[in-house]
Structure 1
């Protein structure tokens, strides 16, 4: 049998962060996230998921021989479900809205969402292995249906569209996983 049974990852813990675009992110797996990076709190046990979408066009020579495939409109998204209704999650779910607390009572004015690009960070842990994903620019462009009931947790499913940097970088993964070491 080829392979090593120590290499598959089961991410047992995770944290999700949001920060203003341009915030300095950690460059290793040990340094704490800077104050600009705000944690969203508890996440759903379903974890996070990444999706990709792109158009491709096949080009054929005379006689039906495939000679090339071109790709365009690449889109990548990250989906995460937040279980807390804190200020960070409120801002991601309702960009452009406001919240004010006076004499122990908070009033939230929910407005039509506005564009609100942010930087995002996802930290995953499997025992002593850590993986950090830093998205320098993205935006919550979809919020799933929110249940308000006595039988289900209120959860905020966020779909974040990732915008590439000028050099085409979508995100950076930083890990101390030995199997990721480049020889």
Structure 2
């Protein structure tokens, strides 16, 4: 018979980024340490995770089905839409490093000028690599996903209108871990092995 306690619902979530190599938490309830930045409010649609595999199939004479398969590669993606406009999200969306942005302080004037951030885009770049952390939370149930190294593989269109928040839809693609370890580490509370 089934157990309703095993049904997990992502009621809310948090998403963090840090420079690649930043120390990750060692438990699902440990605080995100120095270097991790909270990316703020996210769209109610939450997180969309996709997994994929590329396989080689070995066929044998006289057999209709493969006799053996081998995984050539595994990949995945994590898609989230963020609602806040921050320097960290602008860096990820426009593939611009912080060193290539300029923050100009407000001036009283005359004329008065508000504080503003400026940067340029349009040149090819190698992408913006970060470490990524995601907490999926339902009461005291936490699923923590920690990805050692990601790049933004897809960016949704930004819409600016009076009907909706100007959002940042980002799809993160896990890359090989810098030390050769696990690319994606997961913690799930209240899930037993037996």
TM over 0.5: yes
How far apart are residue 57 of structure 1 and its match? Answer: 2.8
Contact 1:79 1:160 in 2 (8 A): yes
Aligned partner of 1:101 in structure 2 is 104
Residue 92 (structure 1) aligns with:
92
Contact 2:10 2:138 in 1 (8 A): yes
Preserved CA contact (<8 Å) 1:94 1:110: no
**Structure number having the greater strand percentage:** 1
Moved more, 111-120 or 44-53: 111-120
Partners of 2:12 and 2:46 within 8 A in 1: no
Structure 2, unaligned stretches of length 5 or more? 107-113
Which segments of structure 1 move beyond 6 Å, counting only runs of 4 or more? Answer: none
* Structure 1 residue runs without a partner (length 5+): none
CA deviation after TM superposition for structure 1 residue 109, in Å = 1.2
Range moving further from structure 2, 67-76 or 16-25: 67-76
Q: Report if the CA contact (8 A) 2:21-2:131 is conserved.
A: yes
Q: Which residue of 2 aligns with 1:43?
A: 42
- Is the counterpart of residue 52 in structure 1 residue 65 in structure 2? no
Partner of 2:188: 175
Distance 2:33 2:79 in 1: 23
Task: State the shift of 1:124 in Å.
Answer: 1.2
- After TM superposition, the score normalised by the length of structure 1 is 0.90
Q: Secondary structure at the match of 2:42?
A: coil
Secondary structure of the 1:91 match is helix
TM-score by structure 2 length?
A: 0.85
RMSD: 1.8
Q: Distance in 2 between matches of 1:33 and 1:45?
A: 23
What's the offset of the Cα at 1:18? 0.5
